Amino acid sequence: MLKKNPGKEIVVKIDTKAVENAAKFEMTPSDTINALDFATQNVDQYYPDMKEHLTTMMNSFRDEEHQSATIKLLDEMVVNITDPAQKTGAIIYALEGVFRENQSFSLKYDEEITDETFAYIEIFDAGYKTRFKGYYARLEEQTKRLQEEIIKKQELIKQKDEEIKQKDEEIKQKDEEIKKSLQELENTLSKFSPEDIKSNTSIKQLTIETEKFYRE
């Protein structure tokens, strides 16, 4: 994650112990909202044209695990940022790093984000990648498995289609054979008069069976 115009390089020294404590701090009654709630409440004031963009990203988490872990990392980031405009911008900027599809905020407001704030965003980005490395590996493995299952299903469907075609051909062939046999029976029976049929038991039985076969 790089700024378009980084300017003078700022090195932010983070007290590891302080960050750990900040992640565990108990909020006062006047400061009980998480980072996403803070951004929602302040985006109209500082970046009104980004409200819809923020809402879209907030509705794009893959599942509850993804959302809760991201919020925790955002909370750890913004506890170090006191200016509300910078804090709001940092949250939106960081979320763009999470979803990566629409970078409209960073393209428009990059220069308004200070180097110090951006340093905290980079810390968030690194923490996010570490946190979700295994998560995305599982998703990729699951996607690969599903793709393999789809291929197997497609092959099975193709095989069934071929079997159906083969059965259709066999049925068609059998139909032709039946039609031919019926035609031969008709030709044979047409040579006998009603008197022949009545007087000959074999012919009579053949006539009855032929009629029954037609009905079936």
Between helix 35-46 and helix 84-99 the angle, nearest 10°, is: 110
Q: How far apart are CA 64 and CA 104, in angstroms?
A: 25
Higher pLDDT, 172 or 41: 41
Confidence of residue 88 (pLDDT cuts 50, 70, 90): very high
Instruction: For 106-153, write each residue's pLDDT tens digit.
Output: 999 999 999 999 999 999 999 998 888 776 677 777 777 877 888 888
DSSP 105-124: HHHHHGGGS-HHHHHHHHHH
Yes or no: say if 206 and 189 are a contact pair by the CB < 8 Å rule.
yes
Cα dihedral 197, 198, 201, 206 in deg (nearest 10): 40
Q: What is the mean pLDDT of the chain?
A: 79
Instruction: For 48-78, write each residue's pLDDT tens digit.
Output: 999 999 999 999 998 898 999 999 999 999 9
Q: How far apart are CA 207 and CA 153, in angstroms?
A: 51
Q: How far apart are CA 14 and CA 6, in angstroms?
A: 20
The token duo for 180 is 């031919």
Q: The whole model's pTM is what?
A: 0.54
Q: How far apart are the first and last CA of the chain?
A: 77
Residue 8: what pLDDT?
41
Kindly state the greatest CA–CA separation across the chain.
Answer: 119
